[in-house]
Structure formats: C-alpha cells, structure tokens
Amino acid sequence: GAVVSQHPSWVICKSGTSVKIECRSLDFQATTMFWYRQFPKQSLMLMATSNEGSKATYEQGVEKDKFLINHASLTLSTLTVTSAHPEDSSFYICSASKQHTEAFFGQGTRLTVV
C-alpha cells in the first residue's frame, strides 16, 4: 500500500513562534504534495501544491510568507507556520500524489496556538 506519515499529530505552541509540520511518503516517491487546512465540520481547503525541487504554488488568499512550504525531496515536504497566532489554530493535512493518479493522506496535525 501507499503510506503517508505526517508529524506531529498534534502540537501546542505559543503565539509568535514557528511550527514545522512534516509530511513523508514512506513507500513511494511523491512528485507532488498538497497541503490542506480543515476547520471543524468543514471540507478540506487547499492551501498549496508543492512539487519536488520547485517553489510551491499557493492558492489565492494563502499567505506565502506565513505558510512556508519546502519540498526538498521526493519523499518529504514540510509546512512551517511562521509567527503563529491563535487564528492559525486548525487541523492541517498533507496529501502525496502517486504518479498523479492517486492521492494518499497523512494523519493530520492539530495545531493549537495559545
């Protein structure tokens, strides 16, 4: 099967600090990874699409400088929430594309900014 591991599963941080979330495809190479944000009882909102070795493509309204995405290898993408504020508290999910025909998801990260 295709396994995507997202870490950490939950994190609490102080306002003004930065938090890094990792997304790894464990048994396949993912040329494209997607980052989503999900509010309670709502759908997944696409934040950005990242391709290995190139800059991420952000969706309209998503602050590039606040949500830094790095796709350094075919198995790892990271999302860094910089200068986090309480309004950034949310559930963040990554997804890795396998040959652009399927997408598999990490377990998600619950971020709480206090």
Residue number with CB closer to other proteins (62 or 82): 62
| Residues 31-70 close enough to bind other proteins by CB under 8 A | 32, 34, 38, 42-44, 46, 49, 51, 57
Residue number with CB closer to other proteins (33 or 81): 33
Q: Is 100 in the site for other proteins (CB under 8 A)?
A: yes
Strands 57-58 and 109-113: unpaired
**Type of residue at 41:** K
Please state, in angstroms and rounded to a whole number, the distance separating the CA atoms of residues 34 and 15: 25
> In whole angstroms, how close is the CB of 16 to other proteins at the nearest point?
27
Q: Is 28 in the site for other proteins (CB under 8 A)?
A: no
Burial 20-30 (b: 16+ CB within 10 A, else e): ebbbbbeebeb
Residues that bind other proteins (rule: CB under 8 A) add up to a total of 22
**Type of residue at 1:** G
